[in-house]
Structure formats: structure tokens, C-alpha cells
Amino acid sequence: MGAFALILYIIGEKFKTTPALSVGNTMSYLLYMRKITDNFSEMSNAFISIAKVKGSSYKVAELIIKQPKIIFATDGKREAGLEGQIDIKDCKFAYPTMPTVPVLKNITILAPSNKVVAFVGASGKFRNRV
């Protein structure tokens, strides 16, 4: 917007000294310049988005290539001794940057063996923190 104001000032000064410059031509030029600056702004936003996608795709590729620490059986058989349940009792959590603001308060979760556990709720309700 600052560049647009500068152009408006320069053309205004020219308009005072050059009688051949009409109001219609001046407005046409200003609208044309505004359209060009808007396009450059959109192009810069597109380049920023492309850079974000490039960084994200690199992280996804790292995860795909990374070898897991737990080796799963490919023949469909389970390793012996992998039975049991997951039991979390009175879990509390706060971010290190804001230790006085708890995110989780006394959460207890029991996930029985061979069962699916799902966390449901509205968007932004800290399901991903668990």
C-alpha cells in the first residue's frame, strides 16, 4: 500500500505540472498499477506456500524412509509376550513454556488388549495431546 501511495503522490505532482495528463488517464494508470501490485502480492503468497509444501514433503519422506525400531512380523504371526493392556492413571500435562496452564488434568485411560480406543470431540479440544 505504501508503494501505491508513493505512485499516487508522484502522479499528482505530474498532474499539477503537465496539463496533458487527464484525470481519466491518471485513474486508468493507478488502477493498472494497483492490479499489478496485487498480482505480485499473490505471487509472493504462492511462493511462500510452495516453500511450506516443500518443507512438509521433506518431513513426510523422512518418515517414509525411516526404519522403525519395532520390527513387525510380515507372516501375520505375533511375537510371544506382547499381550496386555495400556493403563494410564491420573495423567497431567502442561507445556514447558506455560507450566501453570494445565492441558490435561487427571486423565485416566484404559485400553484393553485387542480393542480399539478412539478419542472424539470437537475441533481444538486437545485430542492430539493424548
Which pTM does this prediction carry? 0.34
On the question of pLDDT at 129 being above 60, the answer is: no
- Which has the higher per-residue pLDDT, 83 or 90? 90
Here the cell at position 109 is 485411560
Residue-range domain boundaries for the chain: 2-65, 86-129
Q: Which long-range contacts (CB under 8 A, 24 or more apart) does 70-74 make?
A: none
State the average pLDDT for the chain.
78
pLDDT tens digits for range 94-125: 888 988 988 788 888 888 887 777 777 677 66
Q: Which residues pair with 110 in a beta bridge?
A: 87
Phi (first) and psi of residue 120, to 5 degrees: -120, 155
Query: What is the band of 36 on the pLDDT scale with cuts at 50, 70, 90?
Result: confident
**Higher-pLDDT residue of 81, 5:** 5
